[in-house]
Amino acid sequence: MRVGNAGPPGPGCPGVPLRPPARLPDWRRLAGAALEVTVVGSFTRLGYDARRALGPWADLDEVSLTGRTVMVTGATSGLGLATATRLATMGASVRIVGRDPGRTDRARDAILAATPAADVATYLADLADLDQVAALADDVEARESRLDALVHNAGALLATRRWSPQGHEVTFASMVLGPALLTERLLPLLTRTADLAADPPSPARVVLVSSGGMYTQRLDVDDPESDRGYRGSTAYAKAKRAQVVLAERWADRFRAQGVVVHAMHPGWAATPGVHAALPTFERVLGPLLRTPDQGADTIVWLVAADDAVRSTGRFWLDRRSRSTHYVPGTRETEDERDRLEALIAAAISPYLASTPTPPPD
Ligand SMILES: NC(=O)c1ccc[n+]([C@@H]2O[C@H](COP(=O)([O-])OP(=O)(O)OC[C@H]3O[C@@H](n4cnc5c(N)ncnc54)[C@H](OP(=O)(O)O)[C@@H]3O)[C@@H](O)[C@H]2O)c1
């Protein structure tokens, strides 16, 4: 298992040719490295604009997603709505997940306003509620014949500690337990959709929208749900760190089944979520914040680009894989990774048991 994945790509899916990251000219690599050490320069729109100008930066308008089905959670607002809207313009059948029927319908209408011929369907679930996530998975299995990509975008930074119906802390439940259950339950559909015999091979994809905030936290398996004291930004960053570790673990587990998994961070974008949770941050950075489309760009790229399936289990910003650790003392051990998977399994396993077969008449 790789930790800190900025080196050459690990093995991808069987049959998908590996390609090391494009070797940039020295001046471009130096400029890129200088940008990365300045957090504000890297995470704001300055970083996006500079990397786009430095290239290489493929034009996604050239990519057709016709025939592919992509599910995006948290698609009622901000980055999720921008992602789903862009994917629909590229021809994808878009499946949006919201938790409020009115907001979800309005998101569908906004996508259709941008692309009137788009194939958009809505699903409802609060990702923190495992009963609702299990029902969502049943609904998807019943209604969909394929799923090419699953984007775990839903998330929020919560000022006060809240509990899910199953008694889990909501940040951890909505960004770790819910996505884990949804992924496990939809894995058979993703696997059925993956076509490694195609030319070029077409793995299914899972994308976790993490955050640069995760750099500040070590994986916490002793107190993942902040029982020992709650601070919204810490709970948020811990859950985002767990997502990055999960992406690496799932990548190893799902590779043979034709499913590629990546985590990413969008930089800092002006969204309703940032406005609600971080108003001072929003005011200070003002015009330096990315637009939702700029924040969503790497999510769309990970769903659409052939280059995104030449590796698996990586962490991306602005279409390039990045180190998962910059801050000393944040590297987890293999034992801690095992414990994360064990505690997730304990929470979601009641929802994974096979449906009992009815007794014979
Ligand atoms: N914007 C940034 O600068 C930034 C930076 C780093 C990471 N991120 C991450 O990017 C993702 C999108 O954030 P955003 O900035 O676009 O925020 P946003 O505008 O608030 O959108 C968040 C979306 O997640 C949904 N959501 C939140 N909790 C949910 C739950 N328990 N169940 C179901 N849906 C839930 C929201 O649904 P409702 O409409 O029902 O509230 C909304 O659709 C999040 O994971 C966030 O942590 C954002």
pLDDT, averaged across the chain: 92
**Domain assignment present for 310:** yes
What is the SS3 assignment for the chain?
Answer: CCCCCCCCCCCCCCCCCCCCCCCCCHHHHHHHHHHHHCHHHHHCHHHHHHHHHHCCCCCHHHCCCCCCEEEEECCCCHHHHHHHHHHHHCCCEEEEEECCHHHHHHHHHHHHHHCCCCCEEEEECCCCCHHHHHHHHHHHHHHCCCCCEEEECCCCCCCCCCECCCCCEHHHHHHHHHHHHHHHHHHHHHHHHCECCCCCCECEEEEEECCHHHHHCCCCCCCCCCCCCCCHHHHHHHHHHHHHHHHHHHHHHHHHHCEEEEEECCCCECCHHHHHHCHHHHHHHHHHCECHHHHHHHHHHHHHCHHHHCCCCEEEECCEECCCCCCCCCCCCHHHHHHHHHHHHHHHHHHCCCCCCCCCC
Q: What is the mean pLDDT of residues 123-134?
A: 98
Residues 228 and 244 both lie in one domain: yes
Residues 245 and 131 both lie in one domain: yes
**Domain assignment present for 10:** no
75 alpha carbon to ligand 1 midpoint, in Å? 8
Residues 190 and 286 both lie in one domain: yes
pLDDT tier at 116, thresholds 50, 70, 90: very high
Q: What is the pLDDT at residue 9?
A: 45
Model confidence pLDDT, tens digit, residues 279-300: 999 999 999 999 999 999 999 9
Looking at the predicted structure, is the pLDDT value of residue 311 above 80?
yes
Q: What is the mean pLDDT of residues 259-288?
A: 95
Q: What is the mean pLDDT of residues 54-83?
A: 96
Which of 79, 105, 132 should be mutated for ligand 1, with most atoms under 8 A from CB? 79
Q: Are 174 and 235 in contact (CB under 8 A)?
A: no
Residues 30 and 73 both lie in one domain: no
Residues 45 and 156 both lie in one domain: no
Which of 99, 157, 294 should be mutated for ligand 1, with most atoms under 8 A from CB? 99
Does this model's pTM top 0.85?
yes
Number of domains the chain is built from:
2
Q: What is the mean pLDDT of residues 198-212?
A: 94
Buried b (16+ CB within 10 A) or exposed e, 179-202: bbbbbbbbbebbbebbbbeeeebb
Q: What is the pLDDT at residue 38?
A: 75
The reply to whether 326 belongs to the active site is no
Model confidence pLDDT, tens digit, residues 144-184: 999 999 999 999 999 999 999 999 999 999 999 999 999 99
**Domain assignment present for 3:** no
The residues lining ligand 1, judged by C-beta closer than 6 Å to any ligand atom, are 74, 76-80, 98-100, 103, 126-128, 153-156, 174, 209, 211, 265-266, 268-269, 271-274, 295
Rounded to whole angstroms, the Cα distance separating 23 from 162 reads 47
Q: What is the pLDDT at residue 356?
A: 44
Looking at the predicted structure, is the pLDDT value of residue 236 above 50?
yes
Atom 1 of ligand 1 has which residue's CA nearest to it?
A: 269
- Of these residues, 48, 123, 215, 236, which one is catalytic? 236
Q: What is the pLDDT at residue 297?
A: 98
Q: Are 248 and 316 in contact (CB under 8 A)?
A: no
Looking at the predicted structure, is the pLDDT value of residue 2 above 50?
no
Which of 123, 271, 284, 322 should be mutated for ligand 1, with most atoms under 8 A from CB? 271
Share of the chain above pLDDT 90, in %: 83
Residues 51 and 81 both lie in one domain: no
> Hey, what are 153's tokens?
């975008």
Look up the CATH number of the domain holding residue 151: 3.40.50.720
157 alpha carbon to ligand 1 midpoint, in Å? 8
Q: What is the pLDDT at residue 12?
A: 76
Looking at the predicted structure, is the pLDDT value of residue 78 above 90?
yes
pLDDT tier at 11, thresholds 50, 70, 90: low
78 alpha carbon to ligand 1 midpoint, in Å? 7
Residues 280 and 342 both lie in one domain: yes
**Domain assignment present for 132:** yes
141 alpha carbon to ligand 1 midpoint, in Å? 24
- Domain boundary, last residue among 41, 57, 73: 57
Which atom of ligand 1 is closest in space to residue 103's alpha carbon?
Answer: 39
Residues 40 and 153 both lie in one domain: no
Which of 78-92, 117-131, 346-360 has the least mean pLDDT?
A: 346-360
**Domain assignment present for 21:** no
Share of the chain above pLDDT 70, in %: 90
Q: What is the pLDDT at residue 228?
A: 96
**Domain assignment present for 357:** no
Find tokens 């951890």 and name the residue.
172
Which of 70-74, 157-161, 281-285, 318-322 has the least mean pLDDT?
A: 281-285
Which atom of ligand 1 is closest in space to residue 210's alpha carbon?
Answer: 7
Looking at the predicted structure, is the pLDDT value of residue 347 above 80?
yes
**Domain assignment present for 319:** yes
Looking at the predicted structure, is the pLDDT value of residue 320 above 80?
yes
pLDDT tier at 199, thresholds 50, 70, 90: confident
Residues 46 and 153 both lie in one domain: no
Q: Are 209 and 79 in contact (CB under 8 A)?
A: yes
**Domain assignment present for 4:** no
200 alpha carbon to ligand 1 midpoint, in Å? 33
Residues 197 and 244 both lie in one domain: yes
Which atom of ligand 1 is closest in space to residue 213's alpha carbon?
Answer: 6
Looking at the predicted structure, is the pLDDT value of residue 50 above 60?
yes
Looking at the predicted structure, is the pLDDT value of residue 234 above 90?
yes
Give the domain range for residue 162: 65-351
Residues 272 and 309 both lie in one domain: yes
Q: What is the pLDDT at residue 20?
A: 59
Residues 167 and 118 both lie in one domain: yes
Which atom of ligand 1 is closest in space to residue 270's alpha carbon?
Answer: 1
2 alpha carbon to ligand 1 midpoint, in Å? 28
